[in-house]
Structure 1
Amino acid sequence: MSKIELRNLWFSVHKWIGLLLAILIIPVSLSGSALVWHDWLDAQVNPGRYAVSGPAVLPPSRYVAAAQAVLAPGERIASLRYPEGGEGPVVVSAAPAKPGARERVNVYLDGASARVLDKVGSNDGVVRVLHRLHGTLMVPGMGRQIVGWIGVAMLVSSLTGLWLWWPLTGSVKRGFRWKRRPQLDANLHHQLGFWVCIPLAMLSLTGAWISFPAIFGQLSGARPPQRPAPAAPLTETVQRIDDVVRGAGGQAVAITWPTGKSPAWKLTLAQGEAEIADASGAVTTRPPRPETIARTMRRWHDGTGMGAVWQVVIFLGGIIPAVLAVTGVTMWVGTRRWRRRPARKLAPAE
């Protein structure tokens, strides 16, 4: 296969990926950009939820009592999470009253007074809608797999786009010229596509990894994460939560209640983890676990703990693909119009 034939093949692959998946790439990309700063966005949409009067200094039992006062009959407290960095509300999550249901109820509390700030379903609100749109396109069942294959297609598109951007002749500097084509959309497509191709390839690969953890877990040698079936928290516990936190011997970041399947308190500490048997009170502590490849991929994908520069790169890595999808479609439409134009007749020579 000659160089021109190979280029034409990659062009066809690149073109049809963009045309067939543009309607799906745009919502996935834009929702991913918005979720880079999901905590800030949630605070802007729901300011009352974050209207705290001070840091969380009360015993955990105070937060539990305040949350129980607003829970419906049958809803059981499943976890308590302190704010990251000490700023923000304490969040108490409760398992639903209906057995087997996954959606929980979140109660937001003022850390200084245990005052209830908000009560909302875990899948309700603008930010949760964006999470579901980005992760599953809001398609039940196969949504995550669909988004995973979109990630694979975008990875191929970014690599083929780099191939097509590379000038056929002359110096590579020719690729950076703004007016490579007469049309504005074509120049935007060429230039933006080059600068985003590497970040987009990374985001596409990590997105596919998140969607297909079992497949990529086998390739990397890591055990794929297991998502256990939901288990109802115990209605009555032997250990009191204040004693549990004191017995853990460290600053608690998150506390998970014992269940019928796992009758032990599980605590995430600032410097490790702890597990306390509810029946005996026996304490088992562990140092911080090393970060798994799956967790690293997720941090690269959403920018958690990666710094402001990386988050800006991810934000642009979501905005620009939407622009590329639109310009790709307009370029294709313009090409079809040009091909349908009748040939201009030449005037006879005088």
Structure 2
Amino acid sequence: MGKQLSKVELRNIWFSVHKWAGLLLGLLIIPLSLSGSALVWHDWLDAQVNPQRYAVSGPATLPPSRYVAAAQAVLAPGERIASLRYPEGGEGPVVIGAVSARVGPPQRTNIYLGGATARVLDKAGSNEGAVRVLHRLHGSLLVPGMGRQIVGWIGVAMLTSSLTGLWLWWPLTGSVRRGFRWKRRPQFDANLHHQLGFWICIPLAMLSLTGAWISFPAFFGSIVGERAGQRPAPAVPLAEPVQRVDEIVRGVGGQPIAITWPTDKSPAWKVTLVQGDAEVADASGAVTTRAPQPETLARTMRRWHDGTGMGPVWQVAIFLGGLIPAVLAVTGATMWVGSRKWRKRPVRKLAPAE
């Protein structure tokens, strides 16, 4: 049998894993963490950056055809209406999504409309603007192709770092209360690193795990027995649907949240309702309704990660869970630099005792 590692030797191994994970990935962790922290307040941030989109004068009470007509008046040649989304909670703009029917991958454009007037407030490409750049930075580090996988592996590394950090925080000797002392080390950055690392450990582990889950849905779905959702193939909305959008809303008989137009790949209207969903065949107008489906674990993981519908306390926790890792990356680097300087200091030889 091999030699069993002592507690100190095992701690040294975890320290090396923790240290090099932080040092090698620090420059990637900082933009990933800060962008995620900002996106917790996505709607508020978008309203600050693009106030014209939210200059509404009342709730969305007009027939959907009014919004469609207003959006069509500002569409570029070749663009077609693809979707209509009502504001959450009754506040905010109605958003019409349009895609280009030209050759190549469909390019999406969003038109923002006042709910009470159908006045066009703004028009922008779906990948344009500072908030959208933050989304792309957080989801793929702006790296095309493999960016999402890179972010997923960073999530795995951050999960490992948070758990090994908890191990290293735990005092080797004495009461656990020693770990809560501020002056555990002589250096300010070391004390800050230890204290912030402990208090953010569990939220950071949760954010790291859920981030990896979002990046690798097929892998985690196979573990829990859920089939990962497939991204729909690019489709172009029909230029002249048989049914009209007002008829679709009357036919489903409920309050719609979002309406998706029929396409060349799926000739049916899809309506998301407050209670369940509905699908309307464009050719016949036949309505098929579905009761609300239980939330999948993958969807729960995404809500935990971005704070959607989780309340202000949770949102503050994940905001700090995104902000503090950037501080830990900086303090970890300064601690490492400080330790290198300390090792290079000449050792003063003591005079022999008389």
TM-score tier, shorter chain, comes to over 0.9
> Residue 112 of structure 2 is aligned with which of 80, 98, 108?
108
Q: Which residue does 2:59 correspond to in 1?
A: 55
Q: Tell me if the contact between 1:239 and 1:279 (Cα under 8 Å) persists in the aligned partners.
A: yes
Q: Tell me if the contact between 1:25 and 1:150 (Cα under 8 Å) persists in the aligned partners.
A: yes
Distance 2:23 2:100 in 1: 43
Distance 2:103 2:54 in 1: 31
- Pair 1:85–1:332, CA change in 2 (3 A): same
Q: Does 1:302 align with 2:306?
A: yes
Query: Deviation at 1:104?
Result: 0.5
The residue matched to 2:192 in structure 1 has which SS? helix
Q: Which residue does 2:247 correspond to in 1?
A: 243
**TM-score (normalised: structure 1):** 0.98
Q: Which residue does 1:288 correspond to in 2?
A: 292
> Residue 138 of structure 1 is aligned with which of 118, 142, 150?
142
Output the amino acid matched with 1:213.
Answer: P
The residue matched to 1:207 in structure 2 has which SS? helix
Deviations 1:254-308 (A, max 9, x none): 0000011110000001111010000000000111111001100000000000000
Deviations 1:144-168 (A, max 9, x none): 0000000000000000000000000
Q: Tell me if the contact between 1:103 and 1:123 (Cα under 8 Å) persists in the aligned partners.
A: no
Gapped regions of structure 1 (runs ≥ 5): none
Distance 2:333 2:199 in 1: 20
Aligned Cα RMSD in Å? 1.1
Query: Deviation at 1:349?
Result: 7.7
> Residue 257 of structure 2 is aligned with which of 245, 250, 253?
253
Query: How many positions carry a matched residue from both structures?
Result: 350
> Residue 72 of structure 2 is aligned with which of 68, 71, 76?
68
Q: Tell me if the contact between 1:14 and 1:157 (Cα under 8 Å) persists in the aligned partners.
A: yes
Gapped regions of structure 2 (runs ≥ 5): none
Q: Which residue does 1:264 correspond to in 2?
A: 268
The residue matched to 2:194 in structure 1 has which SS? helix
Q: Which residue does 2:188 correspond to in 1?
A: 184
Distance 1:252 1:49 in 2: 21
Q: Tell me if the contact between 1:274 and 1:283 (Cα under 8 Å) persists in the aligned partners.
A: yes
> Residue 165 of structure 1 is aligned with which of 136, 148, 169?
169
Query: Deviation at 1:80?
Result: 0.3
Q: Which residue does 2:219 correspond to in 1?
A: 215
Identity of matched residues, %: 82
Q: Map 1:10-21 onto structure 2 (within 5 A).
A: 10-21=14-25
The residue matched to 1:298 in structure 2 has which SS? helix
Q: Which residue does 2:328 correspond to in 1?
A: 324
Distance 1:99 1:285 in 2: 34
Output the amino acid matched with 2:12.
Answer: N
Query: Deviation at 1:16?
Result: 0.1
Distance 2:98 2:123 in 1: 10
The residue matched to 2:41 in structure 1 has which SS? helix
Q: Tell me if the contact between 1:206 and 1:300 (Cα under 8 Å) persists in the aligned partners.
A: yes
Query: Deviation at 1:2?
Result: 1.0
